[in-house]
Amino acid sequence: MDLENQKRVKELSEQYGPENLVVVLGAAEGEAAGLTAETVTAGDPTYAGPLTGVQLGLKVYHICEEEIKSEVDPGVYDEQVGMMEMVLDVDEIVDEMSAIREQFTKY
């Protein structure tokens, strides 16, 4: 997660409260999604950005997880995500996201 996005997430968390935010990711690999998920829950593990040492504990999901997929209009989902979902290792992504949520999510 780049520094500008870390700053935005931190500001939105301060403005609306971390319990009122959900972060939806779209990374193509489980490891990349996990790193970003860790950043918005436990703080920036690279110690380089505004979320260094900031444990927001936000709810975080990947767009391909059923909890989010079921909330999106099926036509829109298919148009925007469907093709990509076919080439992703969705199980790996779900496993990574679930592990991060279990370990770090507060809300």
Q: Directed axis angle between helix 30-41 and helix 90-104, to 10°?
A: 20
pLDDT tens-digit profile of 39-53?
A: 999 999 999 999 999
Q: How many domains does the chain have?
A: 1
Q: Answer for the pair 41, 78: CB distance below 8 angstroms, yes or no.
A: no
User: Residue 80 belongs to what domain range?
Assistant: 3-104
pLDDT tens-digit profile of 51-77?
A: 999 999 999 999 999 999 999 999 999
Sorting pLDDT into bands at 50, 70 and 90, what band is 8?
A: very high
Return the structure tokens found at 20.
């009122």
Q: Answer for the pair 19, 4: CB distance below 8 angstroms, yes or no.
A: no
